[in-house]
Amino acid sequence: MEILACPMCKGDLELSIEEEEEEEKEKGEVVKGSLYCRKCDLRYPIEEGIPNLLPPELRQKSE
């Protein structure tokens, strides 16, 4: 988390966890959640353990 920054404004991101991995070797890995930037008020989804840090306008086109 220390190296992640908002791709739009380079602000700090806050992690919100909805679901974590429960298997012993993967324990603590975020499966579903989001990263939130207070500076520019944007939220980036985490699905299947992968954060989608595309800007909102590009994220909507890829879905």
| Residue 5 domain-assigned (yes or no) | no
pTM: 0.80
Q: Are 51 and 29 in contact (CB under 8 A)?
A: no
| Residue 47 domain-assigned (yes or no) | yes
CB neighbour class for 46 (10 Å; exposed up to 12, middle 13-18, buried from 19): buried
| Residue 36 domain-assigned (yes or no) | yes
Name 34's bridge partners: 16, 45
- For residue 45, the surrounding DSSP H or E stretch is strand 42-47
| Residue 25 domain-assigned (yes or no) | yes
DSSP assignment, residue 23? S
Q: Summarize pLDDT for 43-52 with one digit per residue, the tens.
A: 999 999 999 9
| Residue 23 domain-assigned (yes or no) | yes
How far is Cα 17 from Cα 5, in angstroms, rounded to an integer? 17
**Number of compact structural domains in the chain:** 1
| Residue 8 domain-assigned (yes or no) | no
Q: Summarize pLDDT for 14-30 with one digit per residue, the tens.
A: 999 999 887 765 667 88
